[in-house]
Amino acid sequence: MIADGERVLFVHAHPDDETLDTGGTIATLVERGAIVTVLTCTRGERGEVIPDDLNGALESPESLAAVRTAELAAAMKALGVTDHRYLGDVNARWNGQPVRKYSDSGMEWGPRGAEPSARQDPGSLTAAEFSDVAADIAAVIVATQPSVVVSYDANGGYGHPDHIRTREAALRAAQVYAVPFYEITDRGSVAVDVSSVLARKRAALAAYRSQLTIDGDSVVLSGGQRRPIAPVERFELVVDRSSEPIPFSEQHPAARFFAAVIGGVIGVALGALLTVYNQITLPIGGQPIWIGAIAGILVVAAIFVGFRLAFATRVVPAFAALGMVAIVTVLSFETAGGSVLIPQNGPGILWEISPPVLAVLALAWPQGRRRGPGRISSQQVKGTRAS
């Protein structure tokens, strides 16, 4: 269940998108006492019109925008939203920047599905600088302090260029301010049961008379596509990996080889250096303490564990272990003069066996899995995780 005072920001490209994709979730959140903000990036100036009596709205982008903004206002009232904003307006614009209007970029259907329109308006959402779009969305995040941002998946649902730009900019803004980002997807593991608010969602959909028709338990869009008015809306948390290092296995082969060689060199160097001091003892209470061997063991353990954590792989610590074991083995041999650097006494034997034992322990240590951030789980909304 969403707690009272929870703040959720929905970012959508055109009027009607918020109701078609997330209308039930918006109404559910409002009923649960959440503070919901809906941010619409354009006014849908290049959409189509279904009923003949509204064909006059196609005379100009401004005429259609007027119709669709009125429909959006009615839909917001039906869903219970009191904080709706248009991207670029004074309440959705980066500090110090003059108010601007992002227009609908339009789209065309091609052999690969939705494609950008050949007629590009310089004031359209996709023609704008990405940094401007992301900054304006960030301004809303700063103003509303949401605990969650919701928008489209990577394909924008069905490929509309405005949807894709909206998702990319909203995701970037959310990442900058470390706000969990949920994408709309039919395969999402977070399922919100909206059956109790379907009447409100249907009322909001009915407001969009220019764009869709309600037919029983489905809506028919302007292009003839039929979509069910589903009692469940699904989302998925997008894990921010922008600041994570590239996994070792995905790095360039030359980089992996270099790291392995460096690991081996460090192993040889430390093995030789620590061997020199392995016989140092310190008498405490009349008993000799093997501080040289003990200190060496602690350093070796720290190196092996550090390499595992730093590189998230067994390769680099394995090369370090090979280098260290090899040099310790070589230095344990008798020299021409008959002396040895590692005598067969207590400290010497401890030092000889410690590197291979520590290497086995470090390499056998299971590799941990990274967990993504997120403060909202499926248990915090009315719904269950998909099996």
Give the 3-state secondary structure of the chain.
Answer: CCCCCCEEEEEECCCCHHHHHHHHHHHHHHHCCCEEEEEECCCCCCCCCCCHHHHHHHHCHHHHHHHHHHHHHHHHHHHCCCEEEECCCHHHCCCCCCCCCCECCCEEEECCEEEECCCCCCCECCCCCHHHHHHHHHHHHHHHCCCEEEECCCCCCCCCHHHHHHHHHHHHHHHHCCCCEEEECCCCCEEEECHHHHHHHHHHHHCCCCCEEEECCEEEECCCCEEECCCEEEEEEECCCCCCCCCHHHCCHHHHHHHHHHHHHHHHHHHHHHHHCCCCCEEECCEEECHHHHHHHHHHHHHHHHHHHHHCCCHHHHHHHHHHHHHHHHHCCCCCCCCCCCCCCHHHHHHHHHHHHHHHHHHHCCCCCCCCCCCCCHHHCCCCECC
Q: What is the overall mean pLDDT for the chain?
A: 87
pTM, full prediction = 0.65
Decide which of 363 and 81 is more confident. Answer: 81
Q: Which pLDDT tens digit goes with each residue over 206-256?
A: 999 999 999 999 999 988 889 999 999 999 999 876 655 667 777 788 888
Q: Average the pLDDT over each of 153-162, 241-250, 358-367 and give the range with the smallest value.
A: 241-250
Residue 375, pLDDT score: 34
